Amino acid sequence: MGKSIKLFRIGGIPIGLHPSWFIIFLFLTYSLANGYFATRAAELPFAGIWALGLATSLLFFGSVLAHELGHAFVALRNKIPVKSISLFFLGGVAEIDREPSAPGEEFRIAIAGPMVSLTLALIFNSLAQVSGDLSYLSAAFSYLGRVNLLLGVFNLIPGFPMDGGRILRAAIWKITGDHFRATQAASFTGRLVAFGFIGYGVFSVFTGNLMGGIWMGFIGLFLLNLAGSASAQAKLQHKLQGVRVDQVMSRNYPSVPGETTLEQLVVSRLGDNSQGTFLVVDHEKPPGILTLREITKVPRHLWSRIKAKEVMKSWERSAQISPDTPVITALEKMERDDLRLMPVVDGLQVMGILSREQVRHYLRLRTELG
């Protein structure tokens, strides 16, 4: 999923809308006004029907947001920072900074969302009851009651990445004490659920419900993808358990003065290291990293004039890591901040360089050596 547009904050949490959300918002508003309310609010003027459709659509997405805020606030209460909440065409997602560290935490965060949805279902249904005389209002409230009920129940399906899958994982984790096994089990049921959606989608397409079928298939593929990456992530974590950065990092990188031209570097220093990664030290600037990627961006005829320090990627203090950090933490940081390489620094001394390729290489070697 690409970047979402950050619009405002609630309780300090940035709320964003993905471009795909605007399409689904227009689609829902249109189908509410043109379909649902066209018959149930026929006594209203044309503009009134559309205003009601718009308001109901906004309240629906407000409900999705409330569901995510439920997860987010419980995460914050458990001292897990929440980076953002985004709404997109399949719903909402609250991005938390780290995975829960105990089953109880995971359970509380996971259950909070469906609880909010079920509470909202109750509230909207009660509002539908009391506004019985105004039938168009009652129609809007009972629609919102139904979708919130659906939102709560759907999310309780016990397959990862749905909330129910997280609850299942928390339960297995609690019973067995094994986070890895629990994740594997929850992502297995998640895959089953996803295949169920895809199967039902295909069935619907062949029995004449084209749009509904495609929609179901979409949801299935989305869930399948997330369940798969959760399982892969858990396997990676399992394999890298107890491995520190200094066991994986490369110590074998040449360090070159900042004044070196790219020409000199390529002609005389490339043989020093097959990975083509250089540490550039300069007395005026903090050190930086230069890789073949930066060098090849410079046109060939300029290589004799451009110096290493001019094209190196200088790093900030935040983009470095100490040798005793767990590799998995380093890897998460690289993924989060979109870093390919990270200098390993002990005090002021550069000890080595860690790259994602090295981690992959390390895993391959370990698998081959058994």
Site residues (vs Zn ion, CB under 5 A): 113, 155, 163
| 113/352 with CB nearer Zn ion | 113
| 163/282 with CB nearer Zn ion | 163
Least distance to Zn ion, CB of residue 150, Å: 13
How are beta strands 277-281 and 288-291 bridged, if at all?
Answer: antiparallel
Residue of this chain nearest to Zn ion (CB atom): 113
| 105/163 with CB nearer Zn ion | 163
Q: Give me 38's structure tokens.
A: 């066209």
Least distance to Zn ion, CB of residue 14, Å: 18
DSSP bridge partners of 290: 278
Least distance to Zn ion, CB of residue 166, Å: 8
- List phi, psi (to 5°) of 172: -65, -40
Least distance to Zn ion, CB of residue 223, Å: 13
DSSP bridge partners of 326: 244
| 71/191 with CB nearer Zn ion | 71
SS (H, E, C) 217-285: HHHHHHHHHHHHHHHHHHHHHHHCCCCEHHHHCECCCCEEECCCEHHHHHHHHHHHCCCCEEEEECCCC
Distances (CA, A) of 208 to 197, 202, 203, 219, 341: 16, 10, 9, 19, 52
Residue 5 contacts residue 17 (beta carbons within 8 Å): yes
Least distance to Zn ion, CB of residue 82, Å: 13
Residue 267 contacts residue 300 (beta carbons within 8 Å): no
Q: Give me 26's structure tokens.
A: 């227009």
| 113/190 with CB nearer Zn ion | 113
Closest CA to 60 of 32, 34, 85, 35: 32
| 63/155 with CB nearer Zn ion | 155
| 72/359 with CB nearer Zn ion | 72
| 154/195 with CB nearer Zn ion | 154
Q: How many CA atoms, within 13 angstroms, populate the side-chain half-sphere of residue 248?
A: 33
| 113/220 with CB nearer Zn ion | 113
Q: Please report which helix (H) or strand (E) contains residue 89, including its range.
A: none
Least distance to Zn ion, CB of residue 86, Å: 13
Least distance to Zn ion, CB of residue 113, Å: 3
Q: String of b and e for 140-166 (b: at least 16 CB within 10 Å)?
A: bbbbbbebbbebbebbbbbbbbbbbbb
Residue type, 323: P
The angle that helices 19-31 and 46-77 make with each other, rounded to 10 degrees, is 140
Least distance to Zn ion, CB of residue 72, Å: 10
Least distance to Zn ion, CB of residue 153, Å: 12
| 118/234 with CB nearer Zn ion | 118
Least distance to Zn ion, CB of residue 104, Å: 18
Q: How many CA atoms, within 13 angstroms, populate the side-chain half-sphere of residue 300?
A: 1
